[in-house]
Structure 1
Amino acid sequence: MSAQPIHPHTEPDRVPRNAEGIAAALEGERRMEFYRELLAAAPEDAEGVLRRWWCEAMLDTDPSGGRLTEAALNGALPTTSVAAAIARRRAAGLPVE
């Protein structure tokens, strides 16, 4: 049995999941920080670096990012507890690490 997403993702990622795509989505000093971290990473750690920076690049390019930032700064961003997030992931059959 394989886990399938509840809402299939049919659109391509805004940011390709590779070093070139990530770097293109980042600007200025953040791009340089990404390259420094990637080049300094041990081979077994490179995947983790790419995953973290891909998430950063996706957030940077999120069309609703400004609205979310404003809501967070105004204290109006909906929140949930870690326990609730873990329970929701388990209920959906998603991994909890």
Structure 2
Amino acid sequence: MSAQPIHPHEPDRVPRNADGIGAALSGERRMEFYGKLLAAAPENAEAVLRCWWCEAMLDTSPDGGQLTEAALAGTLPTTSVAEVIAHRQEAGLPVG
């Protein structure tokens, strides 16, 4: 099962590499990213890049601030796994 973005973006706002991620982050967050990347064992570097790419995408999202505020306020719409499974089954899509 794969999730599709709410607002697709072509091409990605943030390139999926260390330079792209670093350029999208500001000040302290950029330094934190590079610190985590440099401290990561080679086998963990990809996970660090993936995690921080998501952070950079949120930071550069036009509605990222609103999403963060809604999440912190507890007003972000959510869907349970059971609802997603039911929706996929109704649509004839694979589950699992």
Does the alignment reach a TM-score above 0.5? yes
Q: Aligned residue for 2:48?
A: 49
Q: Secondary structure at the match of 1:12?
A: coil
List alignment gaps of at least 5 residues for structure 2.
none
Percent identical among aligned pairs is 67
How many pairs align? 90
Q: Aligned residue for 1:72?
A: 71
List alignment gaps of at least 5 residues for structure 1.
none
Q: 1:35 to 1:86 in 2, by over 3 A?
A: farther
Deviations 1:45-84 (A, max 9, x none): 1000000000000000000112223333443210123x34
How far apart are the structure 1 equivalents of 2:68 and 2:9? 26
Q: Give the TM-score of the pair, scaled to structure 1.
A: 0.72
1:11: Cα distance to partner? 1.2
Q: Give the TM-score of the pair, scaled to structure 2.
A: 0.73
Q: 1:75 to 1:17 in 2, by over 3 A?
A: same
Deviations 1:11-58 (A, max 9, x none): 100000000000000011110110010001111110000000000000
Structural RMSD (CA): 3.2
Greater than 3 Å deviation, 4+ residue runs? 3-7, 84-88, 90-94
How far apart are the structure 1 equivalents of 2:39 and 2:74? 37
